[in-house]
């Protein structure tokens, strides 16, 4: 995995995905159309697609012979792409009702780790006798530290950026989208830690 390329792809996809959501919401507000469907249906789906793109860049850490293209081939070959989208969307809805886990600092990493776990299971279930998808205590500790780091960084930066964007685009409430965008970038270390844990279980 090329870390530089991963960061570039992540930032680019996050900017494009978040920008598209801003554009949709702004257009809806211009014609006095309800923004609920954009904020709670379309934008979460876009966020999931961006999340999958980011995960596909990090997933090859597990196996040097696996590429980001292979990640998508696994989903298509197993016929699991639509199932994965549905699982992540429902997971996002369920997390939204959980007071602590609904925060992006937890929700987005949970969705990304769930994606990695499912794809790993589909790829290696027939070739490895036994493995554990649940992370070890040390792995959980590392993930928690990175989550807290992402929280403190995002808490300050998202406030500043959202104020600038709200003023520039004459909109309001962009802080959630900004927070999600920053968390998508900052959760790369979380995914790397979990992928490294899974890699140790390969023969």
Calpha distance 62→121 (Å, rounded): 12
What average pLDDT does this structure show over 79-107? 84
Residue 38 has pLDDT above 90, yes or no: no
Please report where in the chains the tokens 């949970």 appear, as a residue: 110
Give 171-197 pLDDT, tens digit per residue: 666 666 777 778 778 888 999 999 999
For residue 20, CA distances in Å to 39, 80, 170 come to 12, 26, 16
pTM of the entire structure? Answer: 0.85
What is the pLDDT at residue 169? 65
For residue 115, CA distances in Å to 19, 20, 25, 84, 175 come to 24, 23, 28, 7, 25
Give 103-156 pLDDT, tens digit per residue: 777 888 899 999 999 999 988 888 888 889 999 999 999 999 998 888 888 877
Calpha distance 43→124 (Å, rounded): 32
Percent of the chain with pLDDT over 70: 92
Residue 22 has pLDDT above 70, yes or no: yes
Nearest 5°: the CA angle 14, 20, 24 is: 145
What is the pLDDT at residue 171? 63
Domain boundaries, the chain: 3-199
Higher pLDDT: 94 or 169? It is 94
Calpha distance 203→200 (Å, rounded): 8
What average pLDDT does this structure show over 42-52? 86
What is the pLDDT at residue 68? 85
């Amino acid at each position: 995995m090329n870390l530089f390329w991963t960061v570039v792809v992540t930032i680019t996809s996050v900017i494009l995905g978040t920008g598209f959501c801003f554009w949709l919401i702004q257009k809806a507000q211009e014609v006095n159309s309800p923004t609920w469907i954009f904020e709670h249906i379309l934008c979460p789906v876009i966020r999931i697609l961006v999340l999958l793109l980011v995960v596909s860049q990090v997933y090859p850490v597990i196996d040097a012979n696996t590429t980001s293209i292979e990640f998508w081939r696994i989903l298509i070959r197993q016929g699991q792409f639509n199932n994965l989208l549905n699982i992540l969307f429902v997971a996002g809805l369920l997390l939204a009702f959980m007071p602590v886990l609904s925060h992006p600092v937890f929700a987005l990493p949970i969705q990304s780790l769930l994606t990695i776990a499912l794809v790993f299971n589909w790829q290696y279930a027939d070739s490895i006798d036994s493995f554990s998808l649940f992370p070890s205590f040390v792995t959980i500790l590392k993930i928690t530290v990175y989550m807290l780091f992402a929280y403190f960084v995002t808490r300050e930066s998202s406030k500043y950026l959202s104020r600038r964007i709200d003023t520039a685009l004459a909109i309001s409430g962009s802080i959630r989208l900004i927070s999600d965008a920053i968390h998508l970038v900052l959760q790369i270390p979380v995914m790397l830690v979990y992928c490294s844990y899974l890699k140790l279980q390969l023969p």
